[in-house]
Structure formats: C-alpha cells, structure tokens
Structure 1
C-alpha cells in the first residue's frame, strides 16, 4: 500500500469515527403524550408559508401585507422560522381554511406556498412542491367546455380541485377554467391535443 493511499485510508477512518454516535447521544428522551396535547391543538391551526424567491424578502413587509390581505376575523401571528419561511398561526380554523381556499397568494410578485403544519414533521422535511392554481384552457370548442371534459383535461396536469362551471355542467366563455393542484417543481406543458369525434383541437393554457 502506497503512502498516499495509507494516508487517505487513515483520513476516512477518522471521519467515520467522528460520525459514530456516542453513549450520551444514544440516550432517548421520552415525552408523555399528555404533554403534547396542548401544542398539538395549536399546530392544527397553523400553516407553514414559504416565499418562492431566490432573494430574502422583507420580513416585516411580508407579515404586514399578508395579515391585511387575508382578512381574518381574528388576529394572525406570523413568525420567522428561516430563509423566506414563516409559521402562520390562526386563532380560528375558519380563518385558516379561508386562506387555504383562496390560494394561490402572491407577495412582491413571488408565489407564497402554503402547507398544512404537521406537528410530527420537522421543518426541513416539509415539501413545498404542490400548489393550487386556476388553469385556463384556451382554444376550446363549446362542446368541449363541460365539467366532465374539464376534469379529463385537468388530471393530465394534477389533481382537480374545482371546476368553474354552472349547475348544468357547462362553462361557456372565452376559456374553460379549472382549479388544479400542480407540482410546481416540474415545468408546465404549453397545451395538448384534444380529439372530439372527428375533430382535433390544440388547446393551450
């Protein structure tokens, strides 16, 4: 074994030894379930927000702007929990649900992603990849602007949440509008072909 290989082997061994869990670190702290009930109830009234920007936003401006924009019945508490991330605590579940239903929300031209706050998930493990958007399907024939066809088109993008159609199931206007839970980590296609009988259309969004 050459001297260089021996040196590298020693360095790797030292690194591995440094990664070993000590006897003190292996000890567990057991928390009684009753001690978590109060905080668990508060967590259920919370959301975690992330501003999708590469630059750090003005924290004070974000908290003030969103508190006014959300029009909650009771005061909302926003806490800075890291780079462009905030814990949003509501006093009423009704206010929380209203904010969720009103998505997507912008701040300073950036998307604000919101996720339910799971008390058993660490902050670093929360995924901000899914967000609902109103998608407009353009270049649609009137016979294709229906609830059933809109749902067929919507599932090619994500999970359909709301169809903007009337009681008869039609949405006749300049475009068909569908609210869809979209994976924002992937690029959105420009459109797709739609075959209706012997007719073929390229609809776009």
Structure 2
C-alpha cells in the first residue's frame, strides 16, 4: 500500500468493526518466509525510473540461472528477485557488480527487517591507483592504500612490460551515497606524494558533487548552489 495512503488512514477514527483487528500466527506466514529466504532485494541506484520488463529480460540473460526466477517491484527502483534454489541465489549474490541502463544494481539478501539503503548502497568497483613510484608498486602497498575505502576485495599488480604496469589496481567496496574519493597522500620516510584514484567503467557520475547515480545536469546540490 502506498505510504501516503497509510499516513492518511492513521488520521481516521476506526469503526467498531475496523478496530477489532487481525492477529496472525507464524503458521500463516511460513510459506511467505520460505519463499523470501531464497530471495534477493535489489535496488537500481540512480534517478532514472527503470523499465520493469527490460530489467527482467536483461538480468535473465546476464545471470543465466539454472532455473527461472521471478521479479517483483516492491518500491521505487527496488525489486525482489525470488529464486527457486539457494544455489542460483548465491551465484547471483556472489557475482560481480552489474549495471542496468547506466545505473548500478545493489543486491542484498532478503531480511524481515527494513533495509536502510542509505547505508547499504555499496558496490565493488575496480580502482586504479596512479602516481606511485615504480618501486612502491606491490600488493602490500595496494592493501594499505585500500584501507581508505570501506573494504578491499582484491589487489592486482600487472606484469611488467604492459601499459597498466605503471599503477596498482584494487577491487574496493564503494558507498554510492558518498562522493567518490579522488586520491590521497602517501608518505614513506621524508618523501610525500599524492596519488590519484581512477574508477573503471564508472556509470552515471556527477562531476559537480562527485556522487554516482546522476549526471551534473540533474545534480540537486548544483541547483541549490546556483540559486
């Protein structure tokens, strides 16, 4: 039910019949819990409204589950993906970060509690660390620099002789509700340098506020600042 309707109903005086209420038991909801336990809740992070049929068709092609899954719209750009097996659910959950129509898909396991998307809007992105001296490039350096992010899932140091051998690449967990980190300072003894962070295949990014999910033309912060 729409939240506006619920708020309006709270202001009504209930009739005697309405005030009786209904009491549920765990047996009444056991089937729903069983189905939801094999579900993922997904949010498309961005301002553009998603085409439901297009999303289902695209993800069916990308995920390639063993059995068909169902999709339900449960909020604005929020969907429930119900799988027939735990194996299919885990395969999708543990897979790489996907985007749809230029917006990232955030997946969480179903829980009976409310998901706070403000805190849970996190995805894994590949980040290049530019500006390091060649002799500083190592996995240990990447792990230490990566601590500036929420988490580091992987560190990749390219083989020498390739163009990407000049920088470290890390798979970092990024909170999409916060401005992307542009770089940081690195100190070794008396030597201090600055490194840049460059994000691979970044989707729908605002160069004004630094947040993923909208373009500069649709940036509410920019509109407020120019008033």
Tell me, yes or no, if structure 1 residue 178 matches structure 2 residue 178: no
Counterpart CA distance in 1 for 2:136 and 2:130 is 11
C-alpha contact (below 8 Å) 1:103/1:133 kept by paired residues? no
After superposition, residues 10-29 of structure 1 pair within 5 angstroms as 18=11, 29=23
Partner residue in 2 for 1:74? 67
Q: Normalising by structure 1, what TM-score?
A: 0.73
Q: Residue 18 of structure 1: CA displacement?
A: 4.0
- In structure 2, do the counterparts of structure 1 residues 20 and 98 end up closer, same or farther at CA, with 3 Å as the change threshold? same
Q: Residue 25 of structure 1: CA displacement?
A: 5.4
Pair member with larger Rg: 1
Aligned mate of 1:93, from 86, 94, 98: 86
C-alpha contact (below 8 Å) 2:121/2:175 kept by paired residues? yes
Partner residue in 2 for 1:194? 186
Q: Residue 142 of structure 1: CA displacement?
A: 3.3
Structure 1 residues 3-48: Cα deviation after superposition (integer angstroms, max 9, x where no partner): xxxxxxxxxxxxxx9489999659672423x555543343232111
Counterpart CA distance in 1 for 2:181 and 2:14 is 47
Q: Which runs of 5+ in 2 are unaligned?
A: 1-9, 159-163, 198-227
C-alpha contact (below 8 Å) 1:47/1:115 kept by paired residues? yes
Aligned mate of 1:55, from 48, 51, 57: 48
Counterpart CA distance in 1 for 2:134 and 2:95 is 28
Counterpart CA distance in 2 for 1:58 and 1:21 is 39
Q: Residue 84 of structure 1: CA displacement?
A: 1.6
Partner residue in 1 for 2:25? 31
Aligned length: 182
Counterpart CA distance in 2 for 1:21 and 1:195 is 67
Partner residue in 2 for 1:3? none
- In structure 2, do the counterparts of structure 1 residues 73 and 189 end up closer, same or farther at CA, with 3 Å as the change threshold? same
Partner residue in 1 for 2:132? 140
Counterpart CA distance in 2 for 1:197 and 1:137 is 20
C-alpha contact (below 8 Å) 1:72/1:95 kept by paired residues? yes
Partner residue in 2 for 1:9? none
Counterpart CA distance in 2 for 1:189 and 1:178 is 14
Q: Which runs of 5+ in 1 are unaligned?
A: 1-16, 167-171
Say what the alpha-carbon RMSD is for the aligned residues: 3.1
Secondary structure, aligned partner of 1:173: helix
Q: Normalising by structure 2, what TM-score?
A: 0.67
C-alpha contact (below 8 Å) 1:46/1:87 kept by paired residues? yes
Q: Residue 180 of structure 1: CA displacement?
A: 1.9
